[in-house]
Amino acid sequence: MTDKKIIDQPPPTGDGKPIWDLVVNDMRERDNLGRTRYNTPLRAWNGRDALVDAYQEVLDLAVYMRQEIEERRSIQEICDHISLIPGAEDCTPQNLLETLGEIEERIHMLEGANLLLRKRVTEFQNEASYDAGFRRGCQAVLQLVENLQGKRVSNELLEQAMNLRIDDGADR
């Protein structure tokens, strides 16, 4: 498969956000980041070669731009294949990305629910372990009482002790 040529764009139209305002805000944020990171604003005569810094940034920019072009082309190719499915002829990169975003949100929600479920299962397991330990402790105490008194203590007493535990748990 051959790469498509990059074609000229039509004149800009639309009523979206003014880009200059966005860029100025981005520049302010970037300046604040630099001041925080380096404890100083960017100044002239700072010991760095500004041309080298700018050239390296332009190289990074070219790579990121080419990445975006390739990813958009890949998304369009995916839409082209999906469009072949009956009922999915209206696939566009925009609605594909929106659908993927919704799927990602649902995955995050499921991950959160899974973490909560794990926490509750762990709490339940800890509670069950505590109950089992409490029961063994009651049995040991009753066995000690039996040994000291020389007679068998009824299971009713054990159940009463366990009910104390259950009643105590209801107040938590």
The pLDDT assigned to 93 comes to 85
Helix 50-82 crosses helix 93-149 at what angle (to 10 degrees)? 90
Which of the pair, 132 or 157, is modelled with greater confidence? 132
Closest CA to 137 of 161, 106, 107: 161
What percent of the chain stands above pLDDT 90? 27
Q: Apex CA 147: angle with CA 146 and CA 153, to 5°?
A: 10
pLDDT for 47-84, tens place per residue? 999 999 999 999 999 999 999 888 888 888 888 888 88
Q: Confirm if 158 and 138 have CB atoms less than 8 A apart.
A: yes
Domains in the chain: boundaries = 48-91, 127-170
Torsion of CA 9, 11, 15, 20, to 10 degrees: 80
Q: Apex CA 99: angle with CA 93 and CA 100, to 5°?
A: 85
- What b/e readout covers 148-157, taking b as 16+ CB neighbours within 10 angstroms? eeeeeeeeee
DSSP class of 4: P
Closest CA to 18 of 28, 9, 26: 26
